[in-house]
Structure 1
Amino acid sequence: MTTRWKKTLVTAANLAGLTAGTYNLLARRPVPQKSGTLHIQGLHEAVEIITDTYGVPHIYAQTEDDLFFAQGYVHAQDRLWQMELNRRLCSGRLSEVVGEALLETDRFCRRLGMHRSAAEEVTRLPAATLRILDAYSRGVNIFIAYNEGKLPVEFTLLHFQPEPWKPADTIQWGKMMGWSLGGNWETEITRARLVAKLGVERASKLEAGYDASHPLIIPPGVEYQGINLGLREQYEQIQELSGFSMFGGSNNWVVDGTMTETGAPILCNDPHLGQAVPSIWYECHLNAGDFDVTGVSFPGTPGIVIGHNQHIAWGVTNAVSDVQDLYVEKFNPENADQYEYQGKWEDAEIIREEISVKGQEQPVIEKVRLTRHGPILTSFQQTPAENEAAAETAEVPLALRWTGLEQGNIISAVAKLNRATNWEEFRDALRDWDVPPQNFVYADQQGNIGYIMAGAIPMRKKGQALVPSPGWTGDYEWTGTIPFDELPQTYNPPQHFIATANNRVIDDTYPHYITNEWLNGYRAQRIRDLLTSKEKLTLADMAEIQGDQYSLPAVEILPHILKLNGETQLEKAALEILRAWDYVLAPTSIAAAIYTKFFSKLEHIFLNTVLGDDEALKSSYMGIGSNMLTPSNGYASRNKPLLIRLLKEHDDSWFENSVIVNGPKSWDSALKNAFKAALDELRDRLGSNILGWQYGTIHKMTYNHPLGSVKALERFFNRGPYAVGGDSDTVNMGASLPSNPEVVITVPSFRQIVDLADLSRSRSIHAPGQSGLPASKHFDDFIPLWMKLEHHPMLFTRRAIEENAEGTLRMLPGK
């Protein structure tokens, strides 16, 4: 796929004949105007945009209409290509500009239908929300109109012009974020395939569960008793399905004044997302009327998603909620447009999607079928009943029900959140927050702290759905969503702090099902340990916690390695290095390289033993997603706690039926083989001198641009690679997929520390930079700060902003 994608880009952009000089000329094209005066049609009053030395715009407007108009303008000014790429991804229109390499991605997106859902929601929006979106869209479109011929270089290379921005484009990007952060549908399929291959009993043992020693979010310090209940019963559902044979995270925490040197709360947040060029985040400061808020936004959407205003601060992590269900549908063998429901045939809604493909005269037609549960995601092929051979190989019709296709009021929630001045207004704002569910931590200048899980989480007739459910019975329907006042929340808790890291929120006494997909609790445990290790905390302490790369899983795994007897000089040297290790996955650590390579080998040995040559199932179980929209799935963080549990149990029966020729027959031999294989690979890769085996040499991150996959453009658009530490279970995350453990794909994409004692002391950082334009100095200037775990000040007062101004652009109503 990657090779084909590169070839298509070369063809689409006609890059083969361009010279290096041409690239440099494109790179030096003028950047948009950020100083002086512009007369702009569509403004009501004058607007002032002060860009500080970090490339962050501070927008001062007289009216909210002009404020969001100006935010749309500055987003387009710095990130128009990113916005265009995102909306084409959401709406299934990438093939239109790059050709057939992304046709299958487009087909999937057309079936999913985020663009259809967004268009419907525009008609239902409250007037105030629609007004915000209209103003924002006008700002984007004015920039496009006023800069024709000076648009980002990507448009020149791919030979097309952006269409006008619409409110639906903003809404569908919100849905894409919801899709990325709420996608448990793939884990349902993986479970189903595990049951089909291994049976109920053995497949259920491959669930890691939630470690009883790991913390909950509510109430912190209370330990969850045992692994998830009812898993086996849920697994047994798959046996009733006729004909069915089949990574995001974040940290946030807040402490009250009893735990800080200043006596006021400190709030921290570092969402973990994939790194790319440009950054997914865009810092911005909005000031108009009762708006005075700063933080990060998503290019393409108005408002501030994470940040603070004059009164409160907030941060978010993904709540990892079960908001998606797959239904196996039974279609009428005599009429492919009908499906069964409670003993009757119902007509599916049929939608004809036309996909234009660059280089092809005729569009590709995707026939989409919508059932009462949602769109059929699988490629639909009606198989005659008498054709048994074809029936066995045909894909099962799977319909997706997802909250993101049914509602989307997040713009209203963000607007209220940005204005909120206290806890009650904060809660009221989050009543509108629906997709995706998030863990919000809160602090205010009166010294209060709090937590709310906000979002639309379905309630089900059967309680929970871990595998695809029969769509024809009516027994697995949704009955509503959990009422807001019954969602997990706490205010001024007695332990004086709240920390979330995508870990389990509540214990078994909570009356509603949220999910069985919680990430493990290693990061949450480490944050809690560090917060309670010092009597009074400072901003420097918080920055140190954000940079922590201590590995709690290594503490449990390393003793099993150290039981091995070194048979060669190299093995003995490696064991000595591991004995002296401090469990920190630093880029310079030799022990970290040995440990991570060992775990990778052990993971593969075990899964080969259990799953054999089923590469697709192994890939899915190891957390690798199925397509461009879902590069990872919910299994991505589960193998460490699972293997730790199995190592403790030391049950050799797992190896009795191994399909590996001359494979290990016990855990002891598996450990020995994994250790030897790890050292052999490190020696082959890095040489025989073990002192050169630093973790950062096999654990690197690159800021990749879509066009940077073309070799001729790589140095032009990409930045890196950079040696980084950590893994998926360290506070300072550096996560990679098991299929490619040396390529880091998820890191802290934004770091924020807010000081409620003095907001001017607050700090933040994201990378690579504010601008998406390679010619701008702000294209990659944040990378050195991010790599050194440093921040820049979140300038908030007018005086501080003017003292650090890089340019001031005055917008006046056009004549």
Structure 2
Amino acid sequence: MRSVFQWLLRLFMGAVVIAALGLAFVYYFASRSLPDYNADYSVDGLSNDTEIVRDNANVPHIFGPTAEDVYFGLGFAHAQDRLWQMTVMRRTAQGRLSELFGERTLKVDELLRRFDFYTLATKSLSVQDDETRAALDAYAKGVNAWIKTVNDEALGRGAPEFFLFPPEIAYWRPADSLAIVKLMGLQLSGHLSEEVLRAQTSLLVGEEGLKDILPDDPSDAVAALPDFAALFPSTPKNFKIAKAETDFLNPVPTRRMAGASNSWAAMPQRSAAGGTLLANDPHLGFTAPAIWYLARLELPTGGIIGATIPGMPVVLVGRGQQVGWAITSSHLDDQDAFIEKLNPSNPKEYLTPDGYKPFETRRTIINVKDGSPVTITLRWTENGPVIPGSQYDLGLITPKGHVASLAWTTLSAQDTSLMAGLKLMQAQSAEQALDVMSRTFVAPSQNLTVVDNDTIAMRVIGALPKRHQDHQTQGRMPAPGWIATNRWQGMLPTSDAPSVRNPNSGILGNTNNKMTDRPYPNHISFSWGDTQRVHRWKGLMQGREVHTRDSFIEAQLDTVSYTARSLLPLVAGELWYTGEAAPEGTPEARRQQALKMLADWNGEMNEHLPEPLIYSAWMRRLQDKLIRDDLGPLADKYTHVEPVFIERVFRDISGASRWCDIKQSTAKETCSDMARIALDEALLWIDQTHGGNLEALHWGDAHEAHHDHAVLGDLPLLRNIVNIRQSTSGGDNTLMRGLTSGEDPAPFTNVHGAGYRGVYDFADPDSSVFVISTGQSGHPLSRHYDDLGELWRRGEYIPMSLDPELARAAAVGITMLRPN
């Protein structure tokens, strides 16, 4: 017996030793790709010595004699820290993910091939000016210099992820950067999804119901539209909503995830220090590492510092010594879906205003890891590419004998958006910045806010589709593509873009709210990204005569929900303080306790409080009960509370209280009944998922920010290393926006928000601050993988200084690049 025990012990110890050696072996090779920031490199493609000084937050400060040298240095730094991220983004834009990931990304590749981003990016190289082509070429050479260094010095393939996939890394090309611009356009575009949902909802509830559940901004008149069924009578109404096959590496945003942001600016007379102020926090889906990468470029025209996206040689948001710039999603309606009628005698043709014409077609092959290559035929109409019915649920609203196509400003082979960004960095005044961006920026449309020492201004930039006055759906739902008046009539002149400069109030801003009342067809959009946050922002801006950098930071980090403050009195009005105290332990007593807690709550979505969870669960359950019997499975598409819909129902605007009556029941339910029942069901859900003691709940436990690694984040053991989790405040409708997933079983997980925050004070530019939501490095073993994330969670920032000596004083490394 003793001998058996001894052998078992030896086997166990041997297994431990082998496991330890295995882990050490893995760690050694994975750590080989950690870059040495204190090194000299002789590289090809560089004209002059270039210096990369990395401050103690690992922000590279890049110094070189020429702009091309600096862009080379940025490409080198991006590749050192984010090579895997850049590779995946490039493959996504090219539609080549399946070569690495097999069939699970085949649907993504099919869609990206149909958009044909890479072909369009390659064609658009010819319309860039010489300076832009030189910048793109220098940046690509910088990326390739690091790839060559990795290969020559066996530096762990450049990133740990490459050990799981073929080691070959294609060299970077200038067109790759332009393709990533288009990929970002996809991630910021949501109008196609909105059109399809509007059409589906119209089929079930008609025009009147559509005005309630998908209302226009209440400050604007509601335009009359035909029912979708009137346009396409043969479209079936008994459609089933299929669950998405996979979200793995899918760049198509789900509803409410198509980009958001905040920006605001103050003129010197509204600033305590006498200089202009600017704040910006663009919102995107959370990832590890973040999409943003902080950098400082010392160009011949002056120093620039701010946030870049690896793969592109441009500071997208940031400041120079004289000018600061910020962006928010404009929600310009830059997408229109069309239903194209096939020729019954020849399905290779489609109907146009001039009769049937053949599709423009091209075959393309998608190589699939561990599978057979897949050949698809790309089809384009005069309106745009044909999109399969399996994408965006288009098949559910496309009648038999028809296909759907897409017109979209991003699908331009004359796209000079990146050129505009490069010229913006050289602007010496707000007027110069506005001029160059309005003339040369194409897509995706943004609200550009710029400031200099005495000017603040905001302008919509990007191509503005021109629609005919007689367009049947005004671009709000898919329309017959063979009717000439439904088609785009070209683009509006750039002078038609809404803009504001030096307002009398001395303050301007945007939270993705409606910014113009111009009527169709010269409007901007019917669907805006915010009807709520803007009210809180106005209150904070008007609450002070003058502002400071710190007051702008306070607004950026504000977690009070205007929505909660406005909806609770409506929904709970007939439930508060009514009836006698219920016996302890009963559902009625629990409901009364919840109502009392909400009555004493100020609407602050603080991670340590229970009330935000009670409120959020209640409103979510209430909306589902209001719409489920009318929409059936389509109700699953309404993943987030629509505040204006709830308000319409409980104020009975245009008879909207009819949504409170459940059609399948014999009794006639009132809105007060629905509110009470929804609260009881929400409390039951809370009890089952978070525990029964209401006062012990914490919003942050449910509203945990998920910064997940896109590839390794689902793997056992590795997920604990590569994923970043943080308890967070905020919510769907707070200025410090933390958009919830809306998906069971964890509907309040924080998945979308400000991956970058910056506040710029031009009274003392070097006192400006910024931060990103993770860290600068994409290497999970680097201490800079998540070091900025904790600062971000706590609402802290790091200095945003152009002082080179300050960067050198606490540098974590100085890299010298020398011509080979």
Deviations 1:346-405 (A, max 9, x none): 111111110000002x31011111111111101599xxxxxxxx9998584100011101
Candidates 630, 640, 645, aligned match of 1:642: 645
Task: Report the Cα distance in structure 2 between the residues aligned to 1:428 and 1:392, rounded to whole angstroms.
Answer: 42
Q: Distance in 1 between matches of 2:180 and 2:236?
A: 34
Whole-angstrom CA distance in 1 between matches of 2:432 and 2:355: 48
Indicate conservation of the 8 Å contact 1:609/1:655, yes or no: no
Two-structure CA RMSD over aligned residues (Å): 2.3
- Deviation (angstroms), 1:674: 0.7
Matched residues in 1 for 2:621 and 2:29: separation? 45
1:757 aligns with 2:763: yes
Contact 1:771 1:779 in 2 (8 A): yes
Task: Provide the residue aligned with 2:230 in structure 1.
Answer: 239
How far the C-alpha of 1:813 sits from its partner, in A, is 0.9
Which residue, 308, 313, 324 being the options, matches 1:302? 313
Within-5 A mapping of 1:608-623: 608-612=628-632, 614=633, 617-622=634-639
Deviations 1:219-247 (A, max 9, x none): xxxxxxx44x32x22x4465223644462
2:447 counterpart (439, 446, 462): 439
The answer for unaligned runs of 5 or more in structure 2 is: 1-18, 238-256, 583-587
- For 2:684, give the aligned amino acid: D
Does the 8 A contact of 2:137 with 2:174 survive in 1? Answer: yes
Partners of 1:425 and 1:373 lie apart in 2 by: 34
What letter is aligned with 1:774? P
Verify: 1:773 aligned to 2:779, yes or no: yes
TM-score by length of 1: 0.89
Hey, what's the Cα distance between the residues in 2 that align with 1:620 and 1:806? 48
Q: 2:695 aligns with which of 682, 691, 697?
A: 691
8 Å CA contact 1:701, 1:744 repeated in 2: yes
Q: CA deviation at 1:199?
A: 2.3
- CA-CA distance at 1:562 after TM superposition: 4.9
Asked whether the equivalents of residues 238 and 468 of structure 1 are also in contact (C-alpha less than 8 Å), the reply is: no
Residue 724 of structure 2: aligned partner: 719
Does residue 1:576 correspond to 2:596, yes or no? yes
* Residues 740-781 of structure 1 deviation map (CA, whole Å, 9 limit, x = unaligned): 422211121111000101111000011210010112111110
Structure 1 residue 65: Cα displacement: 1.5
- Residue matched to 2:336: 325
Q: Which secondary structure state, in structure 1, belongs to the residue aligned with residue 485 of structure 2?
A: coil
* Superposition deviation, residue 499 in structure 1: 0.9
1:797: which partner in 2?
803
CA contact (8 A) 2:649 2:657 kept: no
Q: 1:144 aligns with which of 142, 147, 158?
A: 147
Q: 1:571: Cα distance to partner?
A: 1.8
Q: Displacement, 1:336?
A: 2.3
Rate the CA distance shift 1:26–1:243 in 2: closer, same or farther, 3 A.
farther
From 719, 742, 754, the counterpart of 2:748? 742
**C-alpha deviations, 1:718-754, integer Å up to 9, x for none?**
111x221211210001111332422211121111000
Q: Which amino acid aligns with 2:518?
A: D
In 1, Cα distance between the equivalents of 2:200 and 2:656?
23
Give the SS at the match of 1:691: helix
C-alpha deviation, 1:666, in angstroms: 2.3
Contact 1:141 1:165 in 2 (8 A): yes
CA–CA distance in structure 2, aligned partners of residues 189 and 391 of structure 1: 7
User: Is 1:271 aligned to residue 318 of structure 2?
Assistant: no
In 1, Cα distance between the equivalents of 2:780 and 2:666?
54
Change (3 A) 1:663 1:320: farther
Q: Which amino acid aligns with 2:816?
A: R
Whether contact under 8 Å (1:49, 1:60) holds in the other structure is: yes
Cα deviation code 1:235-270 (max 9, x no counterpart): 446522364446221100001111121011110001
Q: Which moved more, 1:683-692 or 1:252-261?
A: 683-692
Matched to 1:712, the amino acid is L
Q: Residue 250 of structure 1 corresponds to which residue in structure 2? A: 261
Partner of residue 625, structure 1 = none
**Does structure 1 residue 369 correspond to structure 2 residue 379?**
yes
Residue ranges of structure 1 left out of the alignment (5+ in a row): 1-15, 213-225, 382-389, 623-635
CA contact (8 A) 1:36 1:808 kept: yes
Q: Give me the TM-score of the superposition, normalised by structure 2.
A: 0.88
Q: SS state of the match for residue 325, structure 1?
A: strand
Are 2:53 and 1:53 aligned? Answer: no
CA distance in 2, matches of 1:391, 1:545: 42
- Structure 2 counterpart of 1:32, from 32, 35, 38: 35
Q: Distance in 1 between matches of 2:499 and 2:734?
A: 26
In structure 2, relative to structure 1, the CA distance for the partners of 1:20 and 1:703 (3 Å cut) is farther
1:479-558 alignment, distance < 5 Å? 479-508=489-518, 512-558=522-568
Judged with a 3 Å threshold, the aligned counterparts in structure 2 of structure 1 residues 107 and 341 are, in CA distance, closer, same or farther, namely: same
Contact 2:127/2:415, CA 8 A, preserved across alignment: no
Residue matched to 2:673: 669
Q: Secondary structure at the match of 1:739?
A: coil
CA distance in 2, matches of 1:250, 1:405: 24
Aligned to 2:177: 170
* Alignment CA distance shift 1:183-1:379 (3 Å): same
Please report how far the alpha carbon of residue 154 of structure 1 lies from its aligned counterpart in structure 2 after TM superposition: 0.6
Counterparts of 1:399 and 1:379, CA distance in 2 = 10
Aligned to 2:298: 287
The Cα shift of 1:656 comes to 4.5
CA contact (8 A) 2:63 2:70 kept: yes
- Give the structure 2 partner of residue 195 of structure 1: 202
* CA distance 1:579–1:425, change in 2 (3 Å): same
Instruction: State whether structure 2 residue 419 is matched by structure 1 residue 412.
Output: yes
Partners of 2:323 and 2:429 within 8 A in 1: yes
Q: Distance in 1 between matches of 2:415 and 2:22?
A: 46
Query: In the TM superposition, what is the alpha-carbon distance from 1:485 to its structure 2 partner?
Result: 1.8
Q: Distance in 2 between matches of 1:474 and 1:621?
A: 33
Alignment partner, residue 73 of structure 2: 70
Counterpart secondary structure, 1:123: helix
SS of the equivalent of 2:370 reads coil
Q: How many residues align?
A: 754
CA distance in 2, matches of 1:83, 1:145: 16
Q: Which moved more, 1:122-131 or 1:804-813?
A: 122-131
Partner AA of 1:547 in structure 2: L
Q: Distance in 2 between matches of 1:671 and 1:317?
A: 35
* Distance in 2 between residues matched to 1:781 and 1:527, nearest whole Å: 30
How far apart in 2 are the matches of 1:538 and 1:380? 51
Query: SS at 1:135's partner residue?
Result: helix
Mapped contact 1:686–1:692 kept (Cα < 8 A) = no
Q: 2:89 aligns with which of 86, 89, 94?
A: 86
Shift of 1:125: 2.7
Deviations 1:614-647 (A, max 9, x none): 2xx223344xxxxxxxxxxxxx5x7111111211
> Does the 8 Å CA contact 1:241/1:328 hold for their aligned counterparts?
no
2:235/2:399 contact within 8 Å kept: no
1:65–1:132 contact (8 Å) kept in structure 2: yes
Do 1:311 and 1:421's aligned partners in 2 also have CA atoms closer than 8 Å? yes
Q: Aligned equivalents of 1:328 and 1:687: distance in 2?
A: 49
Whether the 8 Å contact between 1:325 and 1:402 is mirrored in structure 2 is yes
Deviation at 1:335, TM superposition (A): 2.1
| Partner AA of 2:715 in structure 1 | V
Q: Distance in 1 between matches of 2:816 and 2:688?
A: 60
8 Å CA contact retained: 1:337, 1:350: no
Residues 236 and 397 in structure 2, CA contact (< 8 A), matched pair in contact too: no
Match of 1:385 in 2: none
- Structure 1's 316 and 780: CA in aligned 2 closer, same or farther, altered over 3 A? same
Aligned to 1:153: 160
Distance 2:357 2:705 in 1: 50
C-alpha displacement at 1:207, in angstroms?
2.3
The answer to whether structure 1 residue 812 and structure 2 residue 815 are counterparts is no
Q: 1:138 to 1:723 in 2, by over 3 A?
A: same
Assess if the C-alpha contact under 8 Å between 1:97 and 1:160 holds in 2: no
Contact 1:459 1:513 survives alignment (8 Å): no
Name the % identity. 29
